[in-house]
Structure 1
Amino acid sequence: MKNIFRTSAMFMAAAAMTLGMASCNKDDDDDAIYNEDDSAALAIIEQFVDNTVAPTYTALAAHAEQLADELAVLKEGATNAGVDQACSTFLAAREQWEKSEAFLFGAAGDFGIDPHIDSWPLDEDAFNRLMSSPDMLAALNGEDGDVVAGERLGNALLGFHGIEYILFANGQPKAADAISENEWIYVVAVAGDLRNRCYQLEVGWLGDDAPEAHIEKLDDLEMQYTVASGDYSYGENMENAGQAGSTYRTRKAALMAIVQGCIDIADEVGSSKIGAAYTGEDVTYIESPYSQTSIVDFHNNIVSIRNAYMGGVENARDESKSIHNHVKNINAALDTEVQEAIEAALAAIDAMPAPFVNHISDARNGAAMEACAALSEKLDEVVDALRNN
C-alpha cells in the first residue's frame, strides 16, 4: 500500500528537511544571497505560493467538488452518459492532484491528506465486507456520510482509488448498470470525503483567499487548516520565512524546502511508483490500475517538479521569479542540466508501454526509473548550491 511506502518516504524527507534547515540555522552569516532583506528570494517564494501551489489546489478543489456533486446525482439515477462525465471529472481532479505532488510538504503532510486520499492498492477484501455490512452502508448513506467515510473506512478504502474502483474497469468507464446501489452509496460518501480533504489543501495554503464556502465547510467539520493551529496559512507561513511566527527560519530554508519536495517526488516516482512493480518488490503496487492511467500520473508528477522549479504552472509562469533563474545565476551549467533532466524524465516516462499494469516488466520502465534517479541527483546539487550561496 502507498501509505507504507509514503510513511517511509515522508520520514526520510522530514529528516532531510530538518538537516537542511539546521544547516541554515547553524550560522546567521550562512544566509548569503538569501538574507532577510533579499527581495529576490521573497519574489521566488511568492511566485511559488501564488502561481504554482494556489492555482493547482484551487483547480483540484473545484474538480473534487464537481465530482462529488455529479456522483450524488448519479446515485439517484445513473446513466451511461452521466458515468462517462463523472469519469472525465475524476481524471481532471486526478491530474491536478498529481501535479501537486512536488509540494506534499505543508498541509498535505501535516494533516495526513496524502495517504488519506491516495493510497493503493484498494483493499478488495475490506471492500467486499463493507458491501455486506448493512449498518456501515446505512451510516454512509446518511446526511453525514462523507464524515463517516473519512473517520471509519481507513485509507485503503478512501480517496481517489476507491472512487476509481467503482467508476472504471480495464481502463474504461463502467456501464451505469454495472454499479450496484450499495456501490453508489459508498462512492458518494468517499467522494464527499475527498472533496473535504481537497478543500483542506486549498484553504490550508490560500487561507482567507480561498472560497468562503470552502472555509465554512471546514469550520463546520472542525477540520484544521492553519499551521500548528495558529494564525498563518501555509502560504503565509512560507512567505513570512525569516519572520517571527514562521516555521522557516530563513528564506533560504523555504527555498530549500521547495527543492526538497521536488526531490521527494522524483524519488518516489522512480523507486516506488515504477520500481516496486518493475523490480518485483511488490507487483500489486500499481497506481491507478482500474483507469489504467498510471503513466499519466507519473508524467504529471514530473510536471509538478517543472512547475515548482520554473516558476509557476504553465499559464501563470514567471521564470524571472523562479528557482531556475536563481540557480542559473549561481551555476548556469547546473540549471541547464536540471532542465534537461526534467525533460529526460518526462520523455522516458512517456516512452513506457501503456498501460503500466499490463507491462510492468518492460525494460523501458527501468529506463524511466534511471531518468527519475538522475533528476533527483541533479536536484540534490541544487540544494547544495542554495545552501552554499
Structure 2
Amino acid sequence: MKNSIFTISFLFLSATILVSCSNNSSEEADPNTALYTQVLTNSSVDVITETYKNMNDNAATLVTAVANLTIGDEAELTAVKNAWMATRAPWEKSEGFLYGPVDTEGIDPAIDSWPVNVNDINNILNSGSAITSSLLENNNEARGFHTIEYFVWGLDGNKTAAELTAREIEFLTAATQNLKSKTQQLYNGWVASQGNFANNFITAGQSGNLFYTSQKTALLELVDGIITISDEVANGKIETPLNGNAGSAMPEAEESRFSNNSKLDFANNIRSIQNIYLGDYDGVDHKGLTDVVVLSNPTLDATIKAKIAEAITAIENIPGTFTTAISNNRPAVQNAQVKVGELQLLLDSSLKPLISNL
C-alpha cells in the first residue's frame, strides 16, 4: 500500500511537471515565428537578391554600350550615359543593405569609391601600358561608378563624344568590365545557386547558422542597415556639400556631380529603406518589416511610411541640380536634410527598440 501511494504521487508529480514544462514552452514560443521567416525570406530573396540581379543585368548592358562607343558619335555616348544611370539606380537602392558579401568581399569600395583620383587616372592614361580590368583591380579610386562617370560626362558635366580619345575608351572598356565583374560577384554572393547568403536570413535562429543566431538578430540587421543609410544621406551625402566649406557650399564634395545624378541617388537611397521596410521591389508586394510593426504599433507603422514618403518628396523637390541648389536654393536642400534626419531619428528611436523587444 505504501508503494502504491508513492507510485501514484510520483506519477501525479511527473504529470504536473510535464504540463508545467509544456505551458512554459508555449509561453516562450513566439507565435509570429512564421511571419518573421516570411519577412526575412522576402527581404533577402525578393528585395536584396533581386536588386543585385537588376544591377548585374544592367551592368551587362553598360559593357555592351561602351563596346559600341566610337569617338564623335553622340547617340552612342548617350546610350552609355543611359546605361550608367540604369546600373547606378539599383546600386543606390541597395545602400540600405550594405552587409554580407558587399561588405566582407570589399565590393562597396571597389565600385563606389568617391572622390575619384584624377592623378591616378591620368597616370594610367599616360602610362603606355594596356588598360585592362585586372590593371584596375587594386585601385578603388580609379575604377567603379564614378571613374566611368568622369570619363563619360567630364569634370564639368558637358563632355561631348568628339572629345573622347581612343585611350579614354580603352579605360572605359576596362572600367565597365571591372564593374560588371563586381556586380556579378555581388549577385553570386546572394543567389541560391552560388554563395546563397540569403539563406542566412531564411534560416536565422536555426542550428548551424553562424551569422544570425536568432530571427531577432536578423531582423535587427535589416533595421540597422536602413538606419545607417538614412544617417549617411542626411549627415554625409547632403551635409558635406551643403556646409563643408565652413558652413558654406562645398560642391566638389558632391557625389555623382559630373552627371548631376545626385538628387536621384539620394532619393533612391531612401527607396532602399522603403523597399526593405515594405518588403517590396519592382512593384511586387511581399512581407516586410511593416508587417511586424503593424501587429503591435499601427500608428508607428503609418508614421514610418509617411516619413519615408516625405523624405523622398523633399529630395525630389529640390529645384534644379543639387550642385546649384546647395548655393542658390539652400532652404530646399536643408528641408530635404531635415526630412531625412527625421526619418533616421524615427527608425533609430522607435523602430529599433520595437524589434529589439520582440
TM-score, length of structure 1 as denominator length? 0.79
Whole-angstrom CA distance in 2 between matches of 1:184 and 1:34: 58
* Alignment partner of 1:341 is 2:307: yes
**Alignment CA distance shift 1:33-1:202 (3 Å):** farther
Q: 2:111 matched to which residue of 1?
A: 117
Larger Rg: 2
Q: 1:53 matched to which residue of 2?
A: 48
Q: 1:260 matched to which residue of 2?
A: 224
Choose the corresponding residue for 2:34, options 39, 58, 78: 39
Q: 1:315 matched to which residue of 2?
A: 283
Q: 1:235 matched to which residue of 2?
A: 198
**Higher relative contact order, chain-length normalized (CA < 8 Å, sep 6+):** 1
Residues 128-161 of structure 1 show CA distances to partners (whole Å, capped at 9, x for unaligned) of 22221113xx1x1xxxx2122123xx12111001
* Alignment partner of 1:351 is 2:317: yes
Q: Letter of the aligned partner of 1:163 in structure 2?
A: I
Q: Letter of the aligned partner of 2:137 in structure 1?
A: G
Whole-angstrom CA distance in 1 between matches of 2:219 and 2:271: 18
* Alignment gaps of 5+ in structure 2: 1-24
- Conserved 8 A contact 1:107-1:201: yes
Q: 1:332 matched to which residue of 2?
A: 298
Whole-angstrom CA distance in 2 between matches of 1:92 and 1:47: 24
SS of the equivalent of 1:94 reads: helix
**Alignment CA distance shift 1:250-1:363 (3 Å):** same
Residues 102-141 of structure 1 show CA distances to partners (whole Å, capped at 9, x for unaligned) of 1111111111111111111222222222221113xx1x1x
**Alignment CA distance shift 1:187-1:34 (3 Å):** farther
How large is the RMSD of aligned CA atoms in angstroms?
Answer: 2.1
* Alignment partner of 1:376 is 2:339: no
Q: Letter of the aligned partner of 1:80 in structure 2?
A: E
Q: 1:150 matched to which residue of 2?
A: 137
Q: 2:65 matched to which residue of 1?
A: 70
* Alignment gaps of 5+ in structure 1: 1-28, 209-214, 216-225, 227-232
Residues 43-65 of structure 1 show CA distances to partners (whole Å, capped at 9, x for unaligned) of 01111122111221111001111
How many residues matched?
Answer: 325
Whole-angstrom CA distance in 2 between matches of 1:78 and 1:252: 56
Matches within 5 A, 1:1-389: 38-74=33-69, 79-135=73-129, 138=130, 140=131, 145-151=132-138, 154-169=139-154, 174-208=159-193, 226=195, 233-243=196-206, 244-280=208-244, 283-318=251-286, 321-361=287-327, 362-380=330-348, 381-389=350-358
- Conserved 8 A contact 1:309-1:322: yes
Residues 30-79 of structure 1 show CA distances to partners (whole Å, capped at 9, x for unaligned) of x96768x811100011111221112211110011111112212326x662
1:248 positional shift = 0.3
TM-score, length of structure 2 as denominator length? 0.85
- Conserved 8 A contact 2:100-2:197: yes
SS of the equivalent of 2:191 reads: helix
**Alignment CA distance shift 1:388-1:193 (3 Å):** same
1:314 positional shift = 3.8
